[in-house]
Amino acid sequence: MNGTLIRRVAAVSLFLAVLVVPKASAAARVFLSGTGVDSGDCTDAANPCRSLQYAIDQAAAGAEVVIVSSGGYGGATITKSISVNAPTGVVAFVGRTITVNIASTDTVTLRGLSMNGAVFGDANGIEFIAGGTLNVENTVISAFSAHGIKDKAWGSKLWVNYCDVKKATNGIFVSGPGTSAVIENSRSLDNFNAGMFADDSAIVVIRNSVAAGNLTGTGFVALASLGATTEMIVDSCLSTNNARGLWSFTSDANSVATLRAGQNIVMNNTQSNLVVSGAGFLISHGGNRVGATGGTTGFTSTEAQQ
């Protein structure tokens, strides 16, 4: 084989080798720190990422982003299953919106974040616009101009546990056909309009939670309009120091809003503790303590406990 042919064969072999070199795979665990740098894959805790978006981009679907030190991490758009975890003692500050836009089979978990919209003035703290399941745990969301958590992902599931949502227009807003939410052990405080809001055929279940200080609005509200059927269940909750405690609001003859309440304390709401607008239903399942400022009447019916 002459020298020219040998060189050609070697060149072709090198070219083929380059073609088959596998691309570096996305990481199963990515580390994020306030002193990190957005370079590399951030899989080594000693060389973490700096921004939340960069960390998410390095992670594989279903992976975990671990926040290892306090810092400000910016907002992010999430388009795949992922968990973002900040352990106790770490202040994981986020001042921009986290947008969740995932497939119906995907699950996103956000845990241990401290979100505040006062600096940049973003509308929403967490905005769920499409997808399967979003879990928000042990997170504080404050001072976003529209909603602390906004879920308009039709057919989605939202789980909120041990969260404080405050100083927005609506604390937690859930809307859309087939959209469901379970909110437990959480507080919605000092919002302009509503603490926790079910709208447009959503089904929202709330347990062991507080809506207070929503001085011009309502603690818990179910709203139906334009043919919607909306349902909210409020169990073992406190609604106080709002304008209205519980509100079932049906805006037209083709819609039905139902709010079911059991074992709640609904007291000292400045306008009314219990409000029904239109042909809405406000149903007591017993054990409610309603009184002081705001009155004691307003349930449309009572259903006996089984």
Helix, strand or coil for residue 92? strand
Quickly name the fold that domain 78-302 has.
Answer: Pectate Lyase C-like (2.160.20)
pLDDT of residue 305: 83
Residue 106 has pLDDT above 50, yes or no: yes
Q: Determine the Cα–Cα distance for residues 249 and 259; give it in Å rounded to an integer.
A: 9
Q: What is the mean pLDDT of the chain?
A: 93
Spatial CB neighbours of 96, under 8 Å, sequence gap ≥ 6? 74, 75, 117, 120, 122
Cα(285)–Cα(57) distance, rounded to whole angstroms? 47
Can you tell me whether residue 58 is helix, strand or coil?
helix
At residue 73, the pLDDT reads: 98
- Rounded CA separation 148/168 (Å): 6
The b/e string for 178-194 (b: 16+ C-beta within 10 A; e otherwise) is ebbbbbbebbbbbbebb
Mean pLDDT for the stretch of residues 148-169: 98
Give the ranges where the chain is alpha helix by DSSP (H): 3-20, 52-58
The count of residues in the chain is 306
Q: Rounded to whole angstroms, how far apart are CA atoms 122 and 296?
A: 39
Helix, strand, or coil (residue 207): strand
Per-residue pLDDT, averaged over 177-202, amounts to 98
pLDDT tens digits for 107-135? 999 999 999 999 999 999 999 999 999 99
Distance of CA 89 to the CA centre of its chain: 22
User: What is the pLDDT averaged over residues 208-233?
Assistant: 97
Instruction: State pLDDT tens for residues 226-248.
Output: 999 999 999 999 999 999 999 99
- The string of pLDDT tens digits covering residues 48-102 is 999 999 999 999 999 999 999 999 999 999 999 999 999 999 999 999 999 999 9
Distance between CA 141 and CA 22 in Å, rounded? 41
Residue 204 tokens read as 């929202």
